[in-house]
C-alpha cells in the first residue's frame, strides 16, 4: 500500500515564507496579542480580494458570527442560508438566537438556487440577512442573487470559506455582498492552522468587528464594557503563517485546477459520471474536485475502494435541513441539494499529489467500471 493520499491537507511554501514571518514575530516577541503580521495579513488579503478592509479572526465560523452581528441580526430574526453547506455556515445563526431558513441548491452552480431564494423572500419578506456560500470553490450565481437581495434591500454575507482564489466575472468571491468571510482551517486551499477573515468595504464596520473581537473594551484606562465582547482575534504568530501562505495562493489554485482537469480528462467520459459544473463566468479555485454519479457505481463504492488503498475521499456536504439539529427549521426548494448529497463524491485534491498519485486514484476508480 502506498502513502496516504489526503483530500486536502496543509501545504506550506517550499521557500519557507511562513517560517520567516513567524520567526519575525518570535524575534520581536510579538507572539501575542496583535502585531505587524496581523495588520499586514489584513492589508494583504484585502488587496488580494479587492476589498477595502479586513479583520483577522480566530476562525471562519467566528467571522460569520460577527458578520451576522454587523448586519444587525439578533434574537428571532430570520436568516436565509444555503442548505447544502458545512454546518459552520448555519451554526452562528443559532449563536445569535436567530432563525435559519434553508434554501435549496441549483444544479447549474451547486450553490444557492435563485428561484428558491425568490420564493423564500415571498414567504418571509421580513428576513434580516442572506448568507450565500461558494461551495468547493465554485461561485454562486451572484448577479441574480444580488439583484434579488437588493430588490428586498437585505444585507448579504458571503461565506467564501472554500473559495479564496475564486472569481465570478473577474471579481473575487466574498466581495459582492456587504460582508465576506474566508477560512484558513487546515483543509482549506491555504491554511494558518486555523483562522478566518472578515472583509467589507465598510471600513467603520470592520473597525467595530475588531472591537467586538477583542472583548469590546471601551477607550478607558480601567476595564469598561458597554457592549458584549468576544475573544475572536487572530494571533500574530498565526497571521505570520497566513502572510506566507498568501504568497503561494495562485500556485495552489493552479495545482488544484490541474488536479481537476486530470480527473475530468481521465474519468469524464465514463458512464454516469458528471463533474461539478463549469460556467463561463466562473473562475473556480477547484478546492475539491467533486462529481456526481448517476449510474450503477455509487459514491460509497468509490469511497470504499479508495479507502482500501489508503486514499481519502468524502461525500458532498449533507444538507442542513436533513440534519437532526436543524431539521425543525423551514426549507425552501425542490430537493436538488438532496440529490447532490446522495450522488456526490469529493475526490482527493491535495496540492502535494504527484501525477503518480493521481494515476493511482484514477486507476482504482476506473476499475469499478470493469467489475
Q: Smallest distance, Å, CB 134 to ligand PLP?
A: 8
Q: Smallest distance, Å, CB 89 to ligand PLP?
A: 5
Question: Judged by CB under 6 A, does residue 88 bind ligand PLP?
Answer: yes
Stretch that binds ligand PLP, among 82-90, 142-150, 200-208, 242-250 (CB under 6 A): 82-90
Question: Judged by CB under 6 A, does residue 290 bind ligand PLP?
Answer: no
Of the pair 65, 360, the CB lying nearest ligand PLP is at 65
Cα distance between residue 30 and residue 18, in whole Å: 15
Residue nearest ligand PLP, Cβ-based: 60
CA-to-CA separations, 341 to 140, 176, 367, in angstroms, rounded: 17, 27, 23
Q: Which grid coordinates are listed for 266?
A: 481521465
User: 302: number of CA atoms within 13 Å, CB side?
Assistant: 29
Mask 193-212, x = binds ligand PLP (CB under 6 A)? ---x----------------
Question: Judged by CB under 6 A, does residue 105 bind ligand PLP?
Answer: no
Stretch that binds ligand PLP, among 54-62, 150-158, 203-211, 296-304 (CB under 6 A): 54-62
Of the pair 56, 116, the CB lying nearest ligand PLP is at 56
CA-to-CA separations, 115 to 84, 92, 103, 148, 158, in angstroms, rounded: 15, 25, 10, 10, 18
Q: From the CA atom positions of the chain, what is the Rg in Å?
A: 21
Q: Smallest distance, Å, CB 53 to ligand PLP?
A: 19
Stretch that binds ligand PLP, among 25-33, 85-93, 209-217, 318-326 (CB under 6 A): 85-93
Question: Judged by CB under 6 A, does residue 162 bind ligand PLP?
Answer: yes
Computed from CA positions of residues 198, 87, 142, 118, in that sequence, does the dihedral angle turn out positive or negative? negative
Question: Judged by CB under 6 A, does residue 133 bind ligand PLP?
Answer: yes
Instruction: Give exposure, 324-345, as e/b (b: 16+ Cβ within 10 Å).
Output: eebeebebbbeebbbebbbbbb
Computed from CA positions of residues 9, 14, 20, 23, in that sequence, does the dihedral angle turn out positive or negative? positive
Of the pair 91, 369, the CB lying nearest ligand PLP is at 91
Q: Smallest distance, Å, CB 280 to ligand PLP?
A: 24
Q: Smallest distance, Å, CB 335 to ligand PLP?
A: 20
Question: φ, ψ for residue 249 (rounded to 5)?
Answer: -55, -45
Q: Where are the alpha helices (DSSP H) in 56-202?
A: 60-70, 87-95, 114-123, 142-151
Stretch that binds ligand PLP, among 80-88, 242-250, 299-307, 353-361 (CB under 6 A): 80-88
Q: What is the DSSP letter of 176?
A: S
Of the pair 131, 358, the CB lying nearest ligand PLP is at 131
Helix H or strand E encompassing 133 = strand 129-133
Q: Smallest distance, Å, CB 88 to ligand PLP?
A: 4
Question: Judged by CB under 6 A, does residue 60 bind ligand PLP?
Answer: yes
Q: Where are the alpha helices (DSSP H) in 179-276?
A: 203-213, 236-247, 249-267
Q: Helix 87-95 to helix 60-70 angle, to the nearest 10 degrees?
A: 50
Stretch that binds ligand PLP, among 56-64, 139-147, 224-232, 341-349 (CB under 6 A): 56-64
Of the pair 111, 343, the CB lying nearest ligand PLP is at 111
Question: Judged by CB under 6 A, does residue 59 bind ligand PLP?
Answer: yes
Cα distance between residue 166 and residue 176, in whole Å: 12
Question: Judged by CB under 6 A, does residue 180 bind ligand PLP?
Answer: no
Question: Judged by CB under 6 A, does residue 85 bind ligand PLP?
Answer: yes
Which residues would be at the binding site for ligand PLP (CB under 6 A)?
Answer: 59-61, 85-86, 88-89, 133, 159, 161-162, 183, 185, 196
Amino acid at each position: 500500500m502506498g502513502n496516504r493520499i489526503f483530500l486536502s491537507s496543509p501545504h506550506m511554501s517550499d521557500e519557507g515564507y511562513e517560517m520567516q514571518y513567524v520567526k519575525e514575530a518570535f524575534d520581536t516577541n510579538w507572539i501575542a496579542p496583535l502585531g505587524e503580521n496581523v495588520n499586514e495579513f489584513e492589508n494583504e488579503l484585502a488587496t488580494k480580494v479587492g476589498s477595502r478592509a479586513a479583520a483577522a479572526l480566530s476562525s471562519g465560523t467566528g467571522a460569520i458570527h460577527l458578520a451576522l452581528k454587523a448586519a444587525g441580526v439578533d434574537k428571532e430574526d430570520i436568516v436565509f442560508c444555503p442548505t447544502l453547506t458545512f454546518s459552520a455556515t448555519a451554526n452562528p445563526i443559532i449563536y445569535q438566537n436567530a432563525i435559519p431558513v434553508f434554501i435549496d441548491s441549483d444544479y447549474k452552480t451547486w450553490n444557492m438556487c435563485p428561484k428558491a431564494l425568490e420564493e423564500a423572500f415571498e414567504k418571509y419578506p421580513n428576513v434580516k440577512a442572506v448568507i450565500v456560500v461558494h461551495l468547493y470553490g465554485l461561485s454562486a450565481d451572484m448577479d441574480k442573487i444580488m439583484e434579488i437581495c437588493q430588490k428586498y434591500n437585505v444585507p448579504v454575507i458571503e461565506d467564501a470559506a472554500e473559495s479564496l482564489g475564486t472569481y465570478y466575472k473577474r471579481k473575487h468571491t466574498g466581495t459582492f455582498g456587504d460582508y465576506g468571510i474566508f477560512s484558513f482551517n487546515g483543509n482549506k486551499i491555504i491554511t494558518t492552522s486555523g483562522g478566518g477573515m472578515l472583509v467589507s468595504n465598510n471600513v467603520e464596520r470592520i473597525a467595530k468587528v475588531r472591537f467586538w473581537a477583542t472583548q469590546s473594551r471601551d477607550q478607558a484606562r480601567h476595564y469598561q464594557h458597554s457592549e458584549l465582547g468576544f475573544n475572536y482575534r487572530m494571533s500574530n504568530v498565526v497571521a505570520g503563517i497566513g502572510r506566507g501562505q498568501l504568497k503561494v495562493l495562485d500556485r495552489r489554485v493552479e495545482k488544484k485546477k490541474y488536479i481537476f482537469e486530470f480527473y475530468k480528462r481521465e474519468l469524464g467520459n465514463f458512464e454516469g459520471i458528471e463533474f461539478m459544473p463549469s460556467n463561463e463566468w466562473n473562475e473556480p479555485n477547484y478546492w475539491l474536485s467533486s462529481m456526481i454519479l448517476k449510474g450503477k457505481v455509487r459514491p460509497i463504492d468509490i469511497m470504499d475502494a479508495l479507502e482500501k488503498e489508503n486514499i481519502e475521499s468524502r461525500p458532498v456536504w449533507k444538507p442542513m435541513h436533513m440534519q437532526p439539529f436543524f431539521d425543525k427549521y423551514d426549507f425552501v426548494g425542490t430537493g436538488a441539494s438532496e440529490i447532490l448529497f446522495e450522488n456526490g463524491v469529493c475526490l482527493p485534491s491535495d496540492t502535494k499529489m504527484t501525477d503518480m498519485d493521481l494515476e493511482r486514484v484514477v486507476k482504482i476508480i476506473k476499475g469499478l467500471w470493469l467489475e
